[in-house]
Amino acid sequence: MGKLWGGRFAGATDALAHRFNASLPFDVQLYDEDITGSVAWALTLGGAGILTADEVATIIGGLEQVRAEFQGNTIVFDQADEDIHTVVERRLTELVGPVGGKLHTGRSRNDQVATDFRLWTMRAVDRLQGHLAALQRALLASARANLELPMPGYTHLQHAQPVTWGHWALSHFWPLARDAGRLAAARAAAAVLPLGSGALAGTPVAVDRQALAAGLGFAAASQNSLDAVADRDFALDFLYAAAVLGVHLSRLAEQLILFSSAEFGFAVLDDAYTTGSSLMPQKKNPDTLELARGKAGRLIGHLAGLLATLKGLPSAYDKDLQEDKEPLFDAAETLELALPVMAGVVGTLRLRPERMAAQLEPGLLATELADYLVRRGVPFRQAHELVGQAVQLAETRQVTLADLSLADMQTISEQFEAGALDVFDVAAALAGRQVMGGTAPQALQQQLAAAEAAVD
C-alpha cells in the first residue's frame, strides 16, 4: 500500500510526477492536526453507528501510537507516501490491520486537509500573538523609561518638530496593536470546520457537524460543502496579516538602523543583536534589523503569490490549492523568529540622549514662532510666510533661526516683538501639545496607560 486511490489505474505514476505531486516534505508539519482530526472523525463514525465501540477504540489507540511515533521521531516513511494523510492512514493500518481502512468512510482528503490546515493556522496565530505582545511590551518598557526624553521629530527625514523617545516608541506600538487585530481576524476565518463536507458534496454519514466543530475547537461548521473544500480565504487572511506585520517591522527596523548609524548616533545596539564583517575589523552591523526589514519582501511575495494561484480557479477542490501551505509555514516561521529578535533589540537598546539633544536645533521650533504671530492676530498663512522669510534670512547668514536678533526679525515684519525670542524652548513646545495623542507630559501618560490596557 502507499496510495489511497490505486484501483482504477492501469499504469504506474511517473517517478518525477510523484515527486512533483508529493506534499509530504512540507505537510508533515500537519501530523498532529491530522491525527487530532482523525480521532474526532473516528468518534463521529462511532456515534453514527458506522464503527463499533471496539473499532473506535482500536483506531484511536492506533492513531495515538502513530502520534507517539511522530513525537518520538521514529516514524518511518514509505517511498509511496504522497502526503501526511497517506502516512497516517498507512501506518495506522499497519498497526491495527484492515479496520484502519474504515476510518476514511464518508471523508475525503479534501475536507480532511482543509480541517488540518485550519487547525494549524489557529495554533500558529496563537503562538504569534504571544510573540507580538512581547514586542509590544518591549516598546512599552522603552517608552515608559524615556517618556519625556526629547528628540527631534522627522517628516520626510528632515527635522520637523520636537517629540520624545516615549512618543516615538509608542508610535511603533500602535501598528502592532492593529496587527493583533488582523491576526485575530485570520484566526476567526480559520475557525470554521470543513470536516463533513466530503470531497465536495457533503458526507452521507449522519453527523452533527456543529458538535464536531465545537469538539475540535472550531467556532462553527461550514455552510456549503463545495465552498468548504475550495475556500482558502483564511490562508490569505493569515498571509495578509503577516505581510502588514512585516511592513511594520520593516519600518521600525529602518528607523533603528538610521538611529544607530554614525551620523545619527541616537542609539547603540547590543552586541547580542549585531554581527561583524569578515574583512573590516571595526564593523558592528545591524544585521538583525536589516533582515527584519528585508523579510517584509518575502512576506509580501507570499501573499501576492497565493492570490495569483487562487485567481481564476474553477469550482471546488483543484490541486492548485496544495500551493497554500508552504507560504504559510514559511511566514509563520519567519515571524516566530523576527518578533522575539526585534523584542530583544528593543529591550537591550542603549539610548544616547546627548546625541539627540545635539540635533535639537532651533529650526525645529519655527512653527512655534509662527504660532507666536498667530497669537498676535496674524492669520496663520501669513505667519507661515513671515517665518519662512526669517528661515531664509538665517540660512543666508549661515546662522540658526535663534541667532537672529529681534531687529533682524523686524526687518521682515513689525509683528515680531520681544516675546518672539522666547519661543525657542523645546520643553515648552512639547508641553504645548496637550491634545490627545500629543507630546505634552500628561498626554503621553494617558497614551501610555491606553497602550498598557490594549496589550493586556
The answer to whether residues 165 and 146 touch, using CB atoms and an 8 Å cutoff, is yes
Assess 350 for contact with a second copy (CB under 8 A): no
Assess 284 for contact with a second copy (CB under 8 A): yes
Is 71 or 277 the residue whose CB approaches a second copy more closely?
277
Q: Considering only 27-35, 72-80, 103-111, 416-424, which stretch makes contact with a second copy by CB under 8 A?
A: 103-111
List the one residue from 96, 216, 229, 328 that touches a second copy (CB under 8 A): 229
Assess 442 for contact with a second copy (CB under 8 A): no
Which among 277, 278, 384, 405 is annotated as catalytic? Answer: 277
The footprint of a second copy on this chain (CB under 8 A) covers a number of residues equal to: 201
Q: Considering only 33-41, 119-127, 260-268, 413-421, which stretch makes contact with a second copy by CB under 8 A?
A: 260-268
List the one residue from 43, 214, 337, 402 that touches a second copy (CB under 8 A): 337
Go through the chain and tell me how many residues it has: 456
Is 428 in a helix, a strand, or coil?
helix
Gap between the Cα atoms of 186 and 335, Å rounded: 15
How far apart are CB 251 and a second copy at their closest, in Å? 6
Q: H/E element holding 149?
A: none
Which among 156, 197, 260, 315 is annotated as catalytic? Answer: 156
Assess 35 for contact with a second copy (CB under 8 A): no
How far apart are CB 58 and a second copy at their closest, in Å? 12
Instruction: Give catalytic status of residue 172 as yes or no.
Output: no
Assess 224 for contact with a second copy (CB under 8 A): yes
Gap between the Cα atoms of 41 and 111, Å rounded: 11
Instruction: Classify the C-alpha dihedral 89-94-95-101 as positive or negative.
Output: positive
Sequence-separated (6 or more) residues with CB below 8 Å from residue 180: 129, 132, 133
How far apart are CB 138 and a second copy at their closest, in Å? 13
Binding mask 121-160 for a second copy (x = CB under 8 A): -------------------------------xxxxxxxxx
Q: In angstroms, what is the C-alpha Rg of the chain?
A: 31
Is 268 in a helix, a strand, or coil?
strand
Assess 434 for contact with a second copy (CB under 8 A): yes
Assess 30 for contact with a second copy (CB under 8 A): no
The answer to whether residues 309 and 301 touch, using CB atoms and an 8 Å cutoff, is no
The answer to whether residues 393 and 404 touch, using CB atoms and an 8 Å cutoff, is yes
Compute the half-sphere exposure of residue 395: CA atoms within 13 Å on the CB side of its CA: 8
Instruction: Give catalytic status of residue 222 as yes or no.
Output: no
Residue 311 DSSP code: T
Catalytic residues: 156, 277
